[in-house]
Amino acid sequence: MATALTTIPTAGAGAALLEPMLLPARGPLASAGVVGGRLRDKFGRAITDLRISITDRCNYRCVYCRTGNEGAQFAELRIEDYLRMVQAFVGLGVEKIRLTGGEPLLRSGLVEMVQELASLRTAYLPDGTPVTNDCLGLPLDIAVTTNGHLLAGLAQPLKDAGLSRVTVSMDAVDPETFTAITRVPRSFEKVLAGIRAAKAAGLGPVKVNCVLLRGFNDAQIEQFAEFSRREGVIVRFIEWMPLDEDRSWKIETVVTMEEIVARLNGFRPVVELPPNASSETAKRFTFDDGVGEIGIIAPVSRPFCGHCSRVRLTSDGKIRTCLFSQTDHDLYGQMVRGGTDDELRAYIRGVVMKKEARHHIGEPEFEKPSRSMVHIGG
Ligand code: SAM
């Protein structure tokens, strides 16, 4: 039976600022987090990862993501509002937080937010034991997904604030193709500098995400392999999903895992690596000499919904239980209407029970989701 959780312990500089909302340390409010155990959906999947969009704004207009004409469409909240919602999730067992957007590095207060997140501790130990007065929780795993444009100047401050890892989206390894995708001149040099700064700051292993589009950047698979080996970063190819703003997705444009592996093998024989965790989305490969690492994330050709451990919070404070959900759930609304911490946790539990079994990409019953990737937070 679950014992009472008395607090989500905080430590370090951030504790003072968070105190009013993080330290209802004892009694029924705090203990409510563990009533019902760790957050699970009705299929028994433990929800341990939260992705938060902290702004709907983006400084790139990537052709496969945005129309190029639309700007931000949804509000952004105060940093302390996101933090209170994060606290509710952490009290239920979330241990990984990924900040995304829009473009999260555009958001003022990001470094301070990371500092606050770094002061939180998990509510459960890795073996599932609830944290009590006698045992401390662990630091959260805090990551950022960014286009890297502003990363050169922010990598070290983010590392110093307590960021664990960074993933940089980079869809080409030559400046011309890169500019054609981002529609921002001289963007490649900025992102490359950002990747190198992240490595130098100790935010490794840096992951570089590339969405492959047939006829656009798929000629670069081998160059990306070279890039991984040369720069010492993990390159991850991601299949394009029907989440683009202008709804131009076609299955013919998706470059599948099978094709990518065949092309990599033509470059140099690949060797499959074991997964780091059962919920890992990427299949991992290295080459026959052990230099370089390539991950392939194949939500279209090889869905991994059965292992999904994620929920998302949009910049305007709505929970999304799947990228392909048709509805949002207004956690921020619950909060501004005066919801107590207990009530927020109960609301989250109820929402998570509605998490979809899987997506239906490529099936006749597939319905376009109610938001596109840039307005959800990838
Ligand atoms: N601006 C940040 C960035 O570029 O990483 C964070 C937001 S962006 C929406 C997050 C990730 O989603 C990026 O890696 C991007 O390549 C990916 N993405 C966007 N649209 C996608 C789609 N339709 N299918 C697959 N990945 C997509």
- Residue 278: per-residue pLDDT: 76
Kindly list the domain boundaries of the chain, sorted by start residue. 34-376
- Residue 154: per-residue pLDDT: 98
Distance linking the first and last C-alpha atoms of the chain: 36
Nearest residue (by CA) to ligand 1, atom 15, is 169
DSSP labels for 29-72?
Answer: HHHGGGTT-S-B-TT--B--EEEEE--S--S---TTT--SS---
CATH fourth-level superfamily of 34-376:
Aldolase class I (3.20.20.70)
Mutational pocket test of ligand 1: of 56, 65, 247, 371, the residue with most ligand atoms within 8 Å of the beta carbon = 65
Profile the chain (378 residues) by mean pLDDT over runs of 10 residues.
29 30 32 68 96 98 93 96 98 97 97 98 92 89 98 98 98 96 96 98 96 95 98 97 93 96 98 89 96 97 92 98 96 98 98 95 89 93
Closest atom of ligand 1 to CA, residue 211:
16
3-state helix, strand, coil in the chain (%, to 5): 35, 15, 50
Pocket of ligand 1 (CB under 6 A): 58, 64-65, 100-101, 103, 145-147, 169, 209, 211, 238, 240-241, 243-244, 373-374, 378
Nearest residue (by CA) to ligand 1, atom 11, is 378
- Residue 34: per-residue pLDDT: 53
Q: Name the residue type at position 54.
A: I
Tell me how far the alpha carbon of residue 378 lies from the centroid of ligand 1, in angstroms: 5
Closest atom of ligand 1 to CA, residue 241:
24
- Residue 279: per-residue pLDDT: 77
- Residue 99: per-residue pLDDT: 98
What is the spatial distance between Cα 207 and Cα 218, in angstroms, rounded to a whole number? 19
What is the spatial distance between Cα 351 and Cα 41, in angstroms, rounded to a whole number? 9
- Residue 21: per-residue pLDDT: 33
Nearest residue (by CA) to ligand 1, atom 19, is 65
364: tokens are 């006749």
Closest atom of ligand 1 to CA, residue 58:
1
